[in-house]
Amino acid sequence: MNDRSPTDDSDGSNCALSGCEEPEWTRREFLSRTIRRSGAASAGLVLGAGGQPLHVASGPPARSPTIRKRVQLGRTGIEVPDISFGTFSLTTDEELVHLALDRGITHFDTAEGYTAGRAESALGRALRGRRHDVTLTSKYRAMPEHTVQHQMDVLERSLRRLGTDYIDIYLNHAVNDIARLQSEQWQAFIERAKREGKIRAAGISGHSGRLVECLDHALDQKLVDIVLVAYNFAQQPSFREKLTQHLKDFAASLDIVTTHPKLPETLTRAHAEGVGVMVMKTLKGARKNDMRFFEAQGRTFAQSALRFVLSDPAVDGLVISMKSPEMIDEYVEASGSGAPDLEDLALLARYESLVAGSYCQIGCDLCAEACPASVPIADTMRIRMYDRDYAIPEVAVREYASLTVDATACSACDGAPCARACPNGLAIASLNRDTHLRLT
Ligand code: SF4
Ligand code: SF4
């Protein structure tokens, strides 16, 4: 269990971020108090103050963590753990799925395109004999030109790979265009697949520039039972509020650019209307190794980030890729662990300062029209993230090779057009050149 030291020692309640009377601390006071409270080696306490970070190995938890909270997904009647297993890079690691089951994870998120279908197959093999203990999400990029029969065929192939005759949640994958939602073929497919008992609930996933517009349309037209969207702590109004409240001078030094400022409001609406809200890409780039120096006492950056999004009343649960036993235990430890506290806030603030100027905001797309050579900058940055931060170079190489236009043109360009377009100040030209070299 994490060190969840209450801020108010008198009544033991975790007052830190839960809305009770809160002190306004300067950074010096904040560091001093949190260091004292958690034994000097507390997590995230060196907030860019100029000194070297404390480094205390967090070590494995003393016991195996298990899922402690289960949630209902809107009006669907589908119950899932607050933290679900993402199979984005799953290939043959069936034992990872078994370990996740042992830890109480009973919802698995996949897609027909993940690892070119191998993720669904591995999941199907791993869940043989356990299908009725779990729920599944799969996804497919249904385009307006895809007929109902084509979509049924794709679904049947997923069912075969997964070794089941129904999928609990079936999503139109990575939607960034209202035309894909307006498609009568897609709507008729959903109706037919539900009628035939091949899917229980339907919805969309998304993380790109027109995400909010697509979500609003889907809600207006009552097209979805579930949504799965990219969402992280830095997009949550509560993160900014708490940062300003407790780390005022530090907050002023950070220029947090929010993508989709209307997203929290839209998710709140979805939740209020009985649509299940699941989120992904919750680690804002997942530069976890860069944060290890600042973690201690069993609390990690990832756990703080997961706790923050799970504390959002609009969010039902999250999906996160799990690629090792250690990763499973680290993430599961955050399940049902309550509201984030000041030490979580400190770790996340540290992360913000770390990624400033180098993190491409998922869903930003402000540079979409900037490149005269039509380099898909946001896609190239996302693929770079798979390689550098997620440590799945094989996925990155495959995704990069599938781009219609790659970053070849960046090697002979001064980078001025894209630099002007990026509000985050990313050195796009040099990052793209490096990505191209690494992935080709
Ligand atoms: S460096 Fe030049 S070619 Fe590369 S993305 Fe920027 S504007 Fe386009
Ligand atoms: S490179 Fe900059 S402008 Fe382009 S999507 Fe990323 S953050 Fe937005």
Domain that holds residue 403: 377-439
Q: Residue 337 Cα, ligand 2 centroid: separation in angstroms?
A: 33
Q: Residue 364 Cα, ligand 2 centroid: separation in angstroms?
A: 6
Task: Please check whether residues 392 and 316 belong to one and the same domain.
Answer: no
Cα separation of 72 and 77, whole Å?
A: 6
Sign of CA dihedral 46, 48, 50, 53: positive
Task: Please check whether residues 425 and 324 belong to one and the same domain.
Answer: no
Assigned domain for 49 exists: no
At 139, list the tokens: 């996804």
Task: Please check whether residues 346 and 203 belong to one and the same domain.
Answer: yes
Cα separation of 124 and 344, whole Å?
A: 37
Assigned domain for 435 exists: yes
Q: Residue 367 Cα, ligand 2 centroid: separation in angstroms?
A: 6
397 class by beta-carbon count within 10 Å (0-12 exposed, 13-18 middle, 19+ buried): middle
Assigned domain for 52 exists: no
Cα separation of 38 and 25, whole Å?
A: 17
Nearest ligand to residue 415 Cα: 1
Residue type (1 letter), 417: P
Instruction: Report the pLDDT value the prediction gives residue 38, as an integer from 0 to 100.
Output: 37
Assigned domain for 166 exists: yes
Task: Please check whether residues 396 and 254 belong to one and the same domain.
Answer: no
282 in Cβ contact with 231 (< 8 Å): yes
428 CB within 6 A, ligand 1: yes
429 CB within 6 A, ligand 1: yes
Nearest ligand to residue 409 Cα: 1
pTM of the entire structure?
A: 0.80
Atom number, ligand 2, closest to the C-alpha of residue 359: 7
Task: Please check whether residues 176 and 104 belong to one and the same domain.
Answer: yes
3-state secondary structure 32-71: HHHHHHCCCCCCCCCCCCCCCCCCCCCCCCCCCCCCCCEE
Structural domain count, the chain: 2
435 CB within 6 A, ligand 1: no
Residue 75 has a CB neighbour count (10 Å cut-off) of 13
Report, as ranges of residue numbers, the positions in the chain whose pLDDT lies below 70: 1-62, 253-258
In testing the pocket of ligand 1, which one of 366, 367, 377, 435 has its CB within 8 Å of the most ligand atoms? 377
Instruction: Report the pLDDT value the prediction gives residue 287, as an integer from 0 to 100.
Output: 72
Nearest ligand to residue 424 Cα: 2
Instruction: Report the pLDDT value the prediction gives residue 8, as an integer from 0 to 100.
Output: 27
At 12, list the tokens: 């033991």
Assigned domain for 132 exists: yes
Task: Please check whether residues 313 and 221 belong to one and the same domain.
Answer: yes
Task: Please check whether residues 224 and 300 belong to one and the same domain.
Answer: yes
Instruction: Report the pLDDT value the prediction gives residue 256, as an integer from 0 to 100.
Output: 64
Residue type (1 letter), 183: S
In testing the pocket of ligand 1, which one of 367, 374, 375 has its CB within 8 Å of the most ligand atoms? 375
Assigned domain for 39 exists: no
The helix/strand/coil state of 298 is coil
Query: Taking the CA atoms of the chain, what radius of gyration do you get in angstroms?
Result: 22
Task: Please check whether residues 338 and 384 belong to one and the same domain.
Answer: no
Helix axes 148-162, 184-195, angle to 10 degrees: 50
CB environment 18-41: b (16+ within 10 A), e (fewer): beeebeebebeebbebbeebbeee
Cα separation of 202 and 333, whole Å?
A: 29
Output the CA torsion 131→105→69→300 (10° steps): -170
Assigned domain for 102 exists: yes
| Pick from 46, 71, 69, 124: nearest CA to 331 | 69
334 CB within 6 A, ligand 1: no
CATH of the domain at 272: 3.20.20.100
Residue ending a domain, choose from 290, 324, 355: 355
CA nearest ligand 2 atom 3, residue: 422
Cα separation of 378 and 373, whole Å?
A: 14
Q: Residue 381 Cα, ligand 2 centroid: separation in angstroms?
A: 8
* Adjacent-strand bridge partners of 83: 318
Cα separation of 396 and 394, whole Å?
A: 5
348 CB within 6 A, ligand 1: no
Task: Please check whether residues 115 and 157 belong to one and the same domain.
Answer: yes
Assigned domain for 425 exists: yes
Instruction: Report the pLDDT value the prediction gives residue 46, as an integer from 0 to 100.
Output: 36
Task: Please check whether residues 213 and 134 belong to one and the same domain.
Answer: yes
Cα separation of 104 and 7, whole Å?
A: 30
Cα separation of 177 and 212, whole Å?
A: 11
Task: Please check whether residues 319 and 386 belong to one and the same domain.
Answer: no
Pocket (CB within 6 angstroms of ligand 2)? 360-361, 364-367, 377-378, 381, 421-422, 424, 426, 428
Instruction: Report the pLDDT value the prediction gives residue 258, as an integer from 0 to 100.
Output: 67
Number of H helices, E strands in the chain: 17, 10
Task: Please check whether residues 268 and 409 belong to one and the same domain.
Answer: no
Atom number, ligand 1, closest to the C-alpha of residue 429: 1
Instruction: Report the pLDDT value the prediction gives residue 250, as an integer from 0 to 100.
Output: 73
